[in-house]
Amino acid sequence: MLDKLVDIALEAGAAIMRIYASETVAARSKDDGSPVTEADATAEAIILARLHELNPETPIIAEEEASAGRAPIAAARFFLVDPLDGTKEFLSRNGDFTVNIALIENNRPVCGVVYAPAHGVIYAGAEGDGARKAIVAEGAALDWRPIEARNPPQAGLAVVASRSHMSEETHAFVGRFSVANLVPAGSSLKFCRVASGEADLYPRLGRTMEWDTAAGDAVLRAAGGQVCTMDGQLLRYGKRLQASDVDYANPWFVAAGRFNPFQA
């Protein structure tokens, strides 16, 4: 399954890069005010078609379909897709955007792929099989190597935080720790930097949706890290009929390497 998801992400990423290479990229605003481009729609169409071919009986929750009111009800097993996470980064051309595909089983992200096509790097992870990273050249993933989340260094934590959503609450949470450096970044690459041991902590004290986090969460868990809500519980997927928010919305969370940030 994981290798199949890698192939699908690479195909979607190639389509995104063809649009990224054009001189102008038009964007429109969705109902929630977030931008969407031709690249989002094109990549999602590719991913949906390939996932249906791969596993036609498994429901797919995808960002643009959900935004259009076409999200199926999640079952015990379903796919979560964000075809272009970091549309603002795509539009600003800083490269920090990703293709995200995850498989959810019993509320857990058990398999996931995060592909950053502008950076030529792809991450993959599956429950029980660990996590890995590869460079991408000419549409192929090359030189796979295993990655692992690290134990917190004594010299202070490396913290990665959202470039577009750095809140006062996030600054306050980070202030609880001894921090060596704080690096802003876009999209689900923040999870992957924790998963690969380049960072120790990624707090997101702001609103996200499940498709924003599932693939990066799967990679991080496979690498030995964790993603917890503010009460210290693992982040769950397939959340519906929530009193406090819409279907598939996440609460605030903290992604960490090999330590519990609520016991630090």
> Known binding site: residues?
63, 82, 84-87, 212
Provide the angle, in degrees to the nearest 10, between the axes of the packed helices 38-54 and 2-20.
160
Element housing 44 (H / E): helix 38-54
Q: Both tokens of residue 244?
A: 């406090």
Strand-pair partners of 159: 182, 201
What are the tokens at 155?
């010299």
**Would you say 216 and 188 are in contact if contact means Cβ atoms under 8 Å apart?**
yes
* Token duo for residue 127: 């429950």
Give the residue numbers of the binding site for Mg(2+): 63, 82, 84-85, 212
Residues in the annotated binding site for substrate: 63, 84-87, 212
Specify the pairing of strand 60-62 against strand 77-85.
Answer: parallel
